[in-house]
Chains A and B, each alone.
Chain A
Amino acid sequence: MKTDVNEKALLEGLAQNDRTAIESIYAMQYNMVQTLIINNNGTAEDAKDIFQEAMMVLYEKARSGSFELNCQLKTYVYSVCRRLWLKRLLQLQKYSHNSNGLVETVSVDEDMEVHDQRNSDFLMMEKALSSIGEPCKSLLEAFYLQKRNMTEIAGNFGYTNADNAKNQKYKCLMRLKKLFFSEYKNHV
């Protein structure tokens, strides 16, 4: 089945980080996923975790530009959640073969592989950032993630001028890069 017009618009909204679009996808799909998880040994908390991870997968896919959904959005979300949940159950060693209503659906193998890679990249960066300590972490986040300019940052962090802040930022950045790449190169 082809993606209908409405779902396509929602996915475009998702790619642009449009809150209304994300909210409608969330509201439409969440209850289904929750029922799936709860009927299979999970809790509402697990459902939230799994569903949000699936939203990440969808978001990554939507942003990649090459997204063509050749089934209903619902089917896709269901398949991803199913995969994620089975993986979680395996890790917890709770997996039982007669899992209720977990029918095989569309194949999401490739997407899951991409997602796992991204997830491990994310964790690596998170780990590196948390081990450089403060004020480095906040300083780099302010510049690279929140995209604030150096003069403003210098004021907020109590540096006498933008050049001082730049120097400090440079030192922090070198440490972060070193930490990140030492892990990253092991994984690639």
Chain B
Amino acid sequence: MEQLQLLEAVERYLQNEMGPEEKGHFEQLRKTNPEVDQLVVEHTIFLGQLNKFGEAKNFKASLHDIHNTLVSSGSIKEQPSQAIVKQMWKRYKRVMGVAASIAGITTMLIAGMINSRKADTVELQQLNQKFERTKRTVDQLKKQVEGTPTEKVPKAPANTDIKSGGTGFLIDGKGFLITNAHVVAGSTSVIVQNNKGQEFRATTIHQNPSTDIAILKIEDNDFKPHDVLPYGIRKNGVDLGETLFTLGFPREEIVYNEGYMSAKTGFHGDTLTCQIGVTANPGNSGGPVFNKNGEVIGIITTRQIAAQGVVFAITSQNIFRLVDDIAKTDTTVQKIKLPSISSIKGLDRVQQIKKIEDCVFMVRSY
């Protein structure tokens, strides 16, 4: 414990908290004992670095804050990056011809791949929860509950069973959610529930079984729209080894998990999906995958039955593609404005999750 007291003395000395007598004594010690002197020098550097770190961290946090304030007050505007498209067009007009023909070939290849993917479903498990087996126990519980008066009015349709359950997340604060198509496939009605246990009615406005994405819209007066979503959706790809995290509802409670980017393609080289190393369970289907900056980079869909920790996620580019595609014909979808900027970048994980968790929902289809 001598070392502890010595270090404490060094800190007091550096902070100028010593009385004149003690200080004189300490300086004497420094002169006679090179080890103490060395410790003082080293600790000065260290505290200096720690201080700078703290200042920089604070400053970064306040810059983020200011950015968000200025954007919401309208003093600065975030421009869309359309300019690039124009520039690229000018610059690469000639290349376009070649690209178009390549695109044609690729389309044929992808069509082939989707077909082969369908055949593979035996080896893959979709991560939605199947409820048939638990139905009976739920019914029994319901009966018990009905005896006692509760404040919460269940919004689930009476006398129907839950077909499937998964996770969904907001892509627009007005109440547009993304989940997997297989979560809501064949449903007659959909209920989403947030982490506080509030239920909202939702309708499926689009499902695309080939990309396995569905868009839901919360249509419930109890739902309070979010002005700005804390996260953005990533347009570009992700590098191998990037750390990722997921939030989902494999049980009644929101569950956090961490992992990394394992491969840029999915099962059997599927380019619509990517492989991530996280643990996922039935119920995680449709849940968002975030990178460390809090950007959505994918949607969890399936895991490989034969292997542990091999999970596949639909890459976030597909969300943009799908929304752009159907916005051409569907006027409801035209209202969706996909968030591209994550305001939780640079925050620590706990803070990030606090901001995100309100936007992740449990999806139950009946």
Verify if A161 is at the interface (C-beta below 8 Å from B).
no
B-contacting residues, A45-81, CB 8 Å: 45, 48, 52, 55-56, 59, 63
Closest CB in chain A relative to B282 CB, distance in Å: 30
Interface contact A27-B75, CB-CB below 8 Å: yes
Contact pattern, B 326-347, Cβ under 8 Å of A = 1, otherwise 0? 0000000000000011100000
Verify if B78 is at the interface (C-beta below 8 Å from A).
yes
Verify if A155 is at the interface (C-beta below 8 Å from B).
no
Contact pattern, B 293-323, Cβ under 8 Å of A = 1, otherwise 0? 0000000000000000000000000000000
Q: Please tell me which one of the listed residues B62, B77, B81, B342 contacts residue A42 in the complex, with CB atoms under 8 A apart.
A: B81
Contact pattern, A 152-188, Cβ under 8 Å of B = 1, otherwise 0? 0000000000000011001001000100110010000
Closest CB in chain B relative to A175 CB, distance in Å: 13
Interface contact A52-B63, CB-CB below 8 Å: yes
Verify if A43 is at the interface (C-beta below 8 Å from B).
yes
Q: How far is the CA of A97 from the CA of B323 in the complex (A)?
A: 35
Contact partners of A177 in chain B: CB under 8 A: 42, 46
**Given A26-B63, A122-B56, A125-B50, A44-B70 contact (CB < 8 Å):** no
Contact partners of A181 in chain B: CB under 8 A: 42, 46
A-contacting residues, B26-65, CB 8 Å: 42, 46-47, 49-60, 62-64
The A interface, classified by DSSP as helix, strand, loop or mixed, is helix
Verify if B69 is at the interface (C-beta below 8 Å from A).
yes
Contact partners of A184 in chain B: CB under 8 A: 49
Contact partners of A42 in chain B: CB under 8 A: 81, 84
**Given A144-B47, A144-B54, A43-B81 contact (CB < 8 Å):** yes
Q: Please tell me which one of the listed residues B4, B76, B77 contacts residue A26 in the complex, with CB atoms under 8 A apart.
A: B76
Closest CB in chain A relative to B219 CB, distance in Å: 31
Interface contact B78-A27, CB-CB below 8 Å: no
Verify if B104 is at the interface (C-beta below 8 Å from A).
no
Q: How far is the CA of A45 from the CA of B340 in the complex (A)?
A: 8
Q: Please tell me which one of the listed residues A22, A44, A59, A118 contacts residue B78 in the complex, with CB atoms under 8 A apart.
A: A44
Verify if B83 is at the interface (C-beta below 8 Å from A).
yes
Closest CB in chain B relative to A114 CB, distance in Å: 12
Contact partners of A45 in chain B: CB under 8 A: 232, 340-342
Closest CB in chain B relative to A120 CB, distance in Å: 11
Verify if B147 is at the interface (C-beta below 8 Å from A).
no
**Given A26-B66, A44-B78, A144-B54, A121-B49 contact (CB < 8 Å):** yes
Interface contact A26-B46, CB-CB below 8 Å: no
Q: How far is the CA of A63 from the CA of B340 in the complex (A)?
A: 33
Interface contact B50-A144, CB-CB below 8 Å: yes
Q: Please tell me which one of the listed residues B3, B57, B76, B235 contacts residue A30 in the complex, with CB atoms under 8 A apart.
A: B76
Contact partners of B79 in chain A: CB under 8 A: 34-35, 38, 44
Contact partners of A126 in chain B: CB under 8 A: 53
Verify if B18 is at the interface (C-beta below 8 Å from A).
no
Contact partners of A107 in chain B: CB under 8 A: none
20 contacts between A and B (CB under 8 A): A22-B63, A22-B66, A26-B67, A27-B70, A30-B70, A30-B76, A34-B76, A34-B78, A39-B87, A41-B87, A43-B84, A44-B79, A44-B340, A45-B341, A56-B60, A56-B63, A63-B55, A100-B87, A125-B49, A166-B4
Which A-B residue pairs are the 8 nearest by beta carbons? A145-B54, A125-B53, A44-B78, A43-B81, A27-B75, A30-B76, A170-B4, A52-B63
14 other contacts beyond A42-B81, A52-B67, with CB at 8 A cut-off? Answer: A17-B59, A22-B63, A38-B81, A39-B83, A41-B84, A43-B340, A44-B80, A44-B340, A44-B341, A45-B342, A63-B55, A125-B53, A141-B54, A170-B3
